[in-house]
Chain A
Amino acid sequence: GQQVMQIPQYQHVQEGEDFTTYCNSSTTLSNIQWYKQRPGGHPVFLIQLVKSGEVKKQKRLTFQFGEAKKNSSLHITATQTTDVGTYFCAGYSSASKIIFGSGTRLSIRP
Chain B
Amino acid sequence: DAGVIQSPRHEVTEMGQEVTLRCKPISGHNSLFWYRQTMMRGLELLIYFNNNVPIDDSGMPEDRFSAKMPNASFSTLKIQPSEPRDSAVYFCASSYLGENEQFFGPGTRLTVL
Interfacial residues, chain A to chain B (CB-CB below 8 A): 30-31, 33, 35, 41-45, 48, 88, 90, 92, 96-103
Contacts and interface: CB of A to CB of B under 8 A. Distances in A.
Contacts of B45: 98-100
B54 interface: no
Interface stretch (B12-20, B22-30, B71-79, B102-110): B102-110
B105 A102 contact: no
Nearest to B98: A96
Main secondary structure of the interface of B (DSSP, over half): strand
B91 interface: yes
Size category, B interface: 20 to 34
Nearest to B93: A43
Nearest to A90: B102
Contact of B100 (A30, A42, A48, A97): A48
Contacts of A97: 56
